[in-house]
Amino acid sequence: MPKINVYLPDALASAVKDAAVPVSAVCQAALSEAVERVGRTRRGIAALRDPTTPAAILDQIGEGIRKRMTPRLVATLRTAALNAEGQARFAVSSLDLLHGLLDDGENLAVRLLLSQGVDVDALVEATGASQTDEPGPPAYESSHMLLGRLTMPGRLACAAALEAVVKLGHNYVGCEHLLVGLATCDGKARDILVEHGVQATALRQAISAAAAGVMLERSRSADRSDATVADLQRRLEAVERQLAGTPGA
């Protein structure tokens, strides 16, 4: 049977050892689940990139992806759809998707832009002033689900977002992934992002760094919690010893 090395942080390795976790069985189950998930995602990516994919199939893909979306991304897509309706358009373009991202100034996509020195206010202004000429989905394929309403550049951006999820090894789909997709694929949104100095490669690196920072902070928090518990235990033991030596206690 082939062997795969799995590297763990020191704290996690100690915890796994102390808990006597069956590492091989757990890793096999996790990897099997990951392979299935990535396989589904890659099939969805291929379907999104195929202009002949029926809207019904796109709806199914959308239902599957929705379970992995962050609440902020769900809100972003809702805003994008409303923006298209406000422009009296059925189709949702890449520009609508970018508008939805920027509408929430607190999501990770916007924070990444700010961290890279992008003038987000100017980006918002440019997005609002621009008009899209992206071709919409066929009328006979009209769908009430978002993926079935996307223009082809919008669909390609979503496909690239899912591809970023796979490459980054994430098990969720967030606003930052959609931003990478919009910055990667041809469309009105990409044109505006490039004009404002946004690069997909730099975004991927920033997302990886942000994820690493979160993991480090969680590790430090765990260490701090362990130290707090140990200190509390020492205090309680000291109180118990004191009481034991006090007459009538």
Q: What is the CATH number of the domain that holds 181?
A: 1.10.1780.10
User: pLDDT tens for residues 107-129?
Assistant: 989 988 998 889 999 999 998 88
Residue 239 has pLDDT above 60, yes or no: no
Number of structural domains in the chain = 1
Domain residues for the domain of 129 are: 10-212
Residue 224 has pLDDT above 80, yes or no: no
249, part of any domain: no
224, part of any domain: no
Residue 241 has pLDDT above 90, yes or no: no
What is the model's pLDDT at position 86? 73
Average pLDDT, stretch 74-100?
Answer: 87
Q: How far is CA 63 from CA 36, 59, 99, 241, in A?
A: 17, 6, 22, 60
Are 200 and 180 in contact by the 8 Å Cβ rule? The answer is: yes
User: pLDDT tens for residues 134-185?
Assistant: 776 655 455 557 888 889 999 999 999 999 999 888 889 999 999 999 999 9
Are 103 and 88 in contact by the 8 Å Cβ rule? The answer is: no
Q: In a 10 Å sphere around its CB, with 0-12 CB exposed, 13-18 middle and 19+ buried, how is residue 147 labelled?
A: buried
More confident residue, 45 or 91: 45
219, part of any domain: no
